[in-house]
Chains A and B, each alone.
Chain A
Amino acid sequence: MTTFIELLLGGLAIGSVYALIALGFVVIFKATEVVNFAHASLLLAGGYVTAVLHDDIGFWPALGVGVAGAAVVGAAVEFLVMRRYRGSDHSVLAIVTIGVDILITTELTRRMGTEVLSLGDPWGDGVVTVGGITLAQTRIAAFVVAGLLITLFLLAFRYTSWGVSMRAAAENPQTAALMGIRLGRVSLSAWAVAGALAAVAALFLTVFPTPGLERATSFAALKAFPAAILGGLDSTTGALVGGLVVGVTESLATGYQGDLSFLGRGIGDLAPYLVMLVVLLVRPAGLFGTKELARV
């Protein structure tokens, strides 16, 4: 039972990090209908900036610069690349993001080489034990920070003018333009916000028990795809639920790997995709999605 609770809590914590990534992914999709395959590279960029700066300027300032840096990279991708293709077919745009992803990831991995970079977080490998249940401090921090950011985001999405223009543009771009909403700005801000959220996620994907930032980090980031898709690509609620589902599934499947050995090794990594497939069979638009995925 203790193991189960530990796995569940750990899964929720890492799931909230996936939710952060998936949220950015969904925001870009809502604002521009583009499936952003470059998302993992934004995350890598944010993590990289934090990793190279923390020795010189300290962890928190480095994290701040990393977050800002990833936001700038996201905005730059929108401004320099995506904007040129405006009006193109959405599948063309999705393929353009694959190109962007390869470009950014290649450059960053060239700089990192085979190193595993630490982001210099203050939690280390500390644990907290309450009532026989042990959790890594990093997981608790992940849950708290991701929870705060997600709440903040949802409040902004619901109550601020920025949120109103995002939602209006997502629902009907032409009518939004008739209201004087600048679609270019909406899309720019979506990319920047997605970058910033991804940079925070980069931190929690690379802290204990993970060794640090490396090329493989972008693979971990890819788990946000099944999260976003099973939630429904155009639903912020879906991104949250999807993230948690993926986190918990992965955590439980990894934890009980021994009992599941008949399914083969590495079921932990595979489980999120299996869940996604099952969900899509039952609900092709995802749990909370409204648009048919075919629209992509």
Chain B
Amino acid sequence: MATLAIRDLSVGYGPVRALRDVSVDVPAGAITAVLGGNGAGKTTLLRAVSRTLGFHHGTGTGTIRFDGRRLDGLRPAQVVAAGVIQVPEGRQVFARMTVADNLRAGALGARGGRRTTAAALDRVHALFPVLAQRAHQRAGLLSGGEQQMLAMGRALMAGPRLLLLDEPSLGLAPLMAARIAETVQEINADGTSVMLVEQNAAIALRLATTAYVLDVGEVALSGPAGELAASDEVRRRYLGVVDETAAADATRAVDGPSRPLSRWSA
């Protein structure tokens, strides 16, 4: 049974149509990737799930269910309480607050009591030891990679059942991007479903079981991640593969320096 089921979702920002009849399933326990270039509507999709479209004067139609329960119509805090937590694009750590207070803020929407929060903090510190070392430092002083860790750690404080990640590798050096990817796998292995939005198709397709490709607000392709990675179109458009040697490179590259999405070269 699908954990998150998005059906016929259309979203507009005033006259701008950002999504049209998008249907996406995020099965329980798996990692599902959503790929697409700039402006494809990936962030909009996550905003619709987290119910923060209102901050952008966006409106939508369609249904979003989490374990059968309608999320559309809820307030952001209720979505969080249902266990669907988003790590927003660009990390958005609370720069003027300490690392410890950022993590505390992450726990504010959780249902569990003190003990659950303490356990969550231990787990976050185990996943990202640097957050324990920098606990009393202002979050704004962390490096980009550390801020991404903080943003993910903050989301984990809420005890997510489904984690929504918006371009976690954005702006990170390949090594750091690979570390984040590893952690996403680790979090998933602990039983949290993940919806991973990425432009970096190479990383995303390696991690995910299923993947969707958004193109100008519509689902252009979807299927098992392996099949998509092998499909000519995805290779050409999203993995920047032009010939067979490069194709082999791209498949291997995911562990080392990863290739950014190369729509432009397509």
Judge: A and B partners, yes or no: yes
Residues of A within 8 A of B154 (CB): 179
B77 touches A177 (CB 8 A): yes
Question: How far, in whole Å, are A177 and B77 apart by their CA atoms in the complex?
Answer: 6
B124 on the interface (CB 8 Å rule)?
Answer: no
**Can you add 14 more A-B contacts, CB < 8 Å, to A165-B108, A178-B80, A180-B80?**
A87-B57, A164-B108, A167-B96, A167-B97, A171-B95, A171-B96, A171-B97, A178-B88, A179-B80, A179-B106, A180-B81, A180-B110, A181-B105, A182-B75
Kindly provide the distance from the CB of B160 to the nearest chain A CB, expressed in whole angstroms. Answer: 11
Contacts of B52 in A (CB 8 A): 174, 177-178
Interface string of B64-98 (1 = CB under 8 A from A): 00000000000111001100011010001011110
Asked if A173 is an interface residue, CB under 8 A from chain B, the answer is yes
Query: Does the CB pair A164–B55 fall under 8 Å?
Result: no
Instruction: Give the B-binding residues of A (Cβ under 8 A).
Output: 87, 161, 164-165, 167-168, 171-182, 290
**B92-A164 in contact (CB<8A):** no
Contact of B109 among A87, A173, A179 (CB under 8 A): A179
Is B50 engaged at the interface, CB distance under 8 Å to the other chain? yes
Cross-chain contact A179 with B95 (CB below 8 angstroms): no
B158: CB under 8 A from chain A?
yes
**Once A and B bind, how many residue pairs between them come within 8 Å at the CB atom?**
68
Q: Is the CB of A173 within 8 A of B55?
A: yes
List 7 contacting pairs A-B, 8 Å CB cutoff, sorted by A: A161-B108, A178-B76, A178-B85, A179-B109, A181-B77, A181-B108, A181-B109
A161, A168, A178, A182: the one contacting B97 at CB < 8 Å is: A168
Cross-chain contact B55 with A174 (CB below 8 angstroms): yes
B104 located at the interface, meaning its Cβ lies under 8 Å from any Cβ of chain A in the complex: yes
A180 to B101, CA, bound (A): 15
Contact residues of B with A, CB < 8 Å?
50, 52, 54-55, 57, 75-77, 80-81, 85-86, 88, 92, 94-97, 101, 104-106, 108-110, 154, 158
Give Cα A174–Cα B56 distance, bound, in whole angstroms: 10
Bound Cα distance from A171 to B102, whole angstroms: 11
**Cross-chain contact A180 with B77 (CB below 8 angstroms):** yes
Given contacts A180-B76, A182-B77, contact A175 B88 (CB under 8 A): yes
Tell me, rounded to whole Å, the shortest Cβ–Cβ distance linking B184 to chain A: 18
Are A167 and B76 in contact, with the CB atoms below 8 A? no
Q: Are A161 and B92 in contact (CB under 8 A)?
A: no
Nearest A residue to B85, CB-CB: A178
Partner of B94, one of A172, A177, A180, A182: A172
- Chain A residues with Cβ below 8 Å from B101 are 164, 167
Contact of A167 (CB < 8 Å), options: B75, B88, B94: B94
- A179 B158 Cβ-Cβ under 8 A: yes
Contact A179 B108 (CB under 8 A): yes
Q: How far is the CB of A1 from chain B (nearest CB, A)?
A: 42
Among A161, A172, A175, A290, chain B packs the most CB atoms within 10 A around the CB of A175
**Closest approach, in angstroms, between the C-beta of A87 and any C-beta of chain B?**
8
Give every chain A residue within 8 A of B81 (Cβ-Cβ).
180
Closest to B79 in A: A180
Nearest-CB distance from B206 to chain A (Å)?
Answer: 27
CB distance from B42 to the nearest CB of A (A): 16
CB-CB under 8 A from B110, the residues of chain A are 180
Say yes or no: B94 contacts A171, CB within 8 Å: yes
Q: What are the nearest 3 A-B pairs in CB distance?
A: A180-B109, A180-B80, A177-B76
Tell me which residues across on chain B come within 8 A of A168, comparing CB atoms: 94, 97, 105, 108
Picked from B54, B76, B104, the residue with its CB within 8 Å of the CB of A161 is: B104
